[in-house]
Structure 1
Amino acid sequence: MGNCFYKYRQLAARENSTEIHPFTLSIIQKGEMWFSSPVNFNDPFDGMINYPDEMTMTDLEKFCKRMSGLGLDTQGVLNGYNKSPRQLSTVYSVIKQKLMQDSKLKIYCLSRNPLDILMWAHYAASHTGICIGFKTYQLDERAFGIKVHENCVSSKLLEPDVSNILIPIPVTYTSKVPGKYDFGRGPSEALQEAFLNKAIEWQYEQECRIVTTDDTLLENPVRIDVNEIEELIFGLRASPLLVEQVKDIVSKSPYKQPGPKLYQCQRIPGTYALEKVLLSL
């Protein structure tokens, strides 16, 4: 395993393209980390919330009070519940969809494993892509983070006394859906918890996530110094032309030389496994 937090990305803008994908280029050239809405995540169970089977009107009033800033017709929800208290699933689905469609929740997904063959297949364009390794900073015996520019995120998302370190939290892989929704907490907190738990079938991803909301992101993308990129690992099918383009980018300012370590994946003979081989500039 590597010592970085890794981001799998496609390298080519399109299949057989001679240009680097613009989102990948924005990371390598500008240090831009774009946080995404989970609306289009590929796992329909991602973000599942286990709502209670029953609620009181007081519970619903608390819930709606917290939702009032999202433009939801909270009075309409209360009136609808009065008419048909059994339609809880409709109330919940409307509220969750409102949160997600309005892109209130933002997530940045990373992995601790740069050599997983399924990750390369699913998230790096069938091994033609790249895996970007961000340097880690150890804050204590368990917490590791990524250094970002100051004033990109609210202090609410940062560790006390650490003004520019974001901490990706390991996803928990489980066969159990997270516990019942607590009406005393905000919907965004419930969604954050839900998006830090995934079905056990996904455990090969070794995923870590930074889960936040619009009000804590002062900028999107969040910016890092490109010299916080520790490694660039090319897929075993990566285009040699695009590899050379990346080499050229990291050989120049603002990169401090010798720049990030560059690797190419290759098969380990006789196994279904990968290893990374160091490249020269």
Structure 2
Amino acid sequence: MQLFKYMPIVTPSNAGSTKAKIDNKMRLASIANNNFWFAKPENLNDPFDCKPEFREPKGFRETEKIIQELSSDEIDYLATQLPGTKTKSDVIKRYKLLYDNGSISIPLLHSFTKRLVQVRMSNMGVLSLSETNSNCLMWTHYAKNHSGICVEYYIPENTRGLDKVRYRQRQPVLSINQAFSEKSGKLLEMLYTKSIHWKYEKEWRIARLEGNKLYSVMNARTLNIYFGINVSSATKKFVKRELGNNFNYIEMRLDRNFGIKEKN
């Protein structure tokens, strides 16, 4: 299937900061090498992205199930809250004792485990793509006011982790137990759920377990490079010099009724 990625690109002389110049080089190098940057949720522009609401556990038995699902690193984190505990069994026994004695409440334990879910979510990687290359708002937001580029990719439909974003009126609500259960798949589903306000983006995502990294996507390839309607001639030359003649370069133009389309 064909999917698109909007990007801000400027010439080195206009990039300003060293970081902007490095970002420019990274974007163009990723296109040339057919690699993709998977961002952590904290770097996405929607403050609700990957942040479900959680229902509190109904009692200690449900909380015990949650602890059983934790990884060794997550158990280590909980053990730091309880000096003298090391193993999963130690943690369960200590929390049970504290709960029975009234020394710790289910809401407090819930806050600990909720934090673990948030850490797990925050470490994941997301690649955001779109079905369209002609959305005026996306050219404005993601391609520096139409002065950047939009890259068209071929992404195989059977790509691991590829799914269409579902847009909802209400923020998803999970139990902590659902969030930690790999079998339910509910936590992963949150990566593909956004507010209805973002529906115009027609987004598809690919998820990976670790974010802020470059990944290759098997059998994916770059098809075309589209220049925004405000892109400078210097930027066009810069992009073509960096990427060479391996791709088709297509300019966008204004169309009727506030539309944008490819030049013939």
TM-score higher than 0.5: yes
Q: 1:227 to 1:107 in 2, by over 3 A?
A: closer
**Structure 2-normalised TM-score?**
0.77
Q: 1:69 to 1:236 in 2, by over 3 A?
A: farther
User: Secondary structure of 2:240's partner?
Assistant: helix
**Structure 1-normalised TM-score?**
0.73
Structure 2: distance between partners of 1:11 and 1:95: 37
Structure 2: distance between partners of 1:67 and 1:34: 28
Q: Deviations over 1:91-129 (max 9, x none)?
A: 35422332245x2x1111111111111111111111111
Deviation at 1:185, TM superposition (A): 5.7
Q: Deviations over 1:28-75 (max 9, x none)?
A: 222221211112222111113232233332322222233333345334
Q: Deviations over 1:137-183 (max 9, x none)?
A: 4xxxxxx25xxxxxxxxxxxxxxxxxxx4452110011023353362
1:231 aligns with 2:224: yes
Which structure has the bigger radius of gyration? 2
Tell me, yes or no, if the aligned pair for 1:70 and 1:99 is still in contact at 8 Å: no
After TM superposition, what 4+ stretches of structure 1 lie above 4 angstroms from structure 2?
Answer: 224-227
Tell me, yes or no, if the aligned pair for 1:266 and 1:274 is still in contact at 8 Å: yes
Q: Which amino acid aligns with 1:118?
A: L
1:130 aligns with 2:149: yes
Deviation at 1:15, TM superposition (A): 8.7
Q: 1:167 to 1:264 in 2, by over 3 A?
A: farther
Tell me, yes or no, if the aligned pair for 2:154 and 2:222 is still in contact at 8 Å: yes
Q: Which amino acid aligns with 2:36?
A: M
Instruction: Note the residue ranges of structure 1 that are not aligned, 5 or more in a row.
Output: 138-143, 146-164
Structure 2: distance between partners of 1:181 and 1:85: 13
Q: Which residue of 1 aligns with 2:133?
A: 114
Aligned partner (choices 197, 200, 218) of residue 201 of structure 1: 197
Identity of aligned residues (%): 21
Tell me, yes or no, if the aligned pair for 1:29 and 1:226 is still in contact at 8 Å: no
Q: Which residue of 2 aligns with 1:140?
A: none
Structure 2: distance between partners of 1:181 and 1:29: 43
Structure 2: distance between partners of 1:85 and 1:225: 45
User: Secondary structure of 2:205's partner?
Assistant: strand
1:73 aligns with 2:60: no
Structure 1: distance between partners of 2:237 and 2:218: 22
Tell me, yes or no, if the aligned pair for 1:67 and 1:74 is still in contact at 8 Å: no
Q: Which residue of 2 aligns with 1:174?
A: 168
Structure 1: distance between partners of 2:251 and 2:120: 40
Q: Which residue of 2 aligns with 1:86?
A: 107
Q: Which residue of 2 aligns with 1:277?
A: 263
Q: Which residue of 2 aligns with 1:246?
A: 239
Deviation at 1:184, TM superposition (A): 5.3
Structure 2: distance between partners of 1:177 and 1:54: 19
Structure having the higher helix fraction is 2
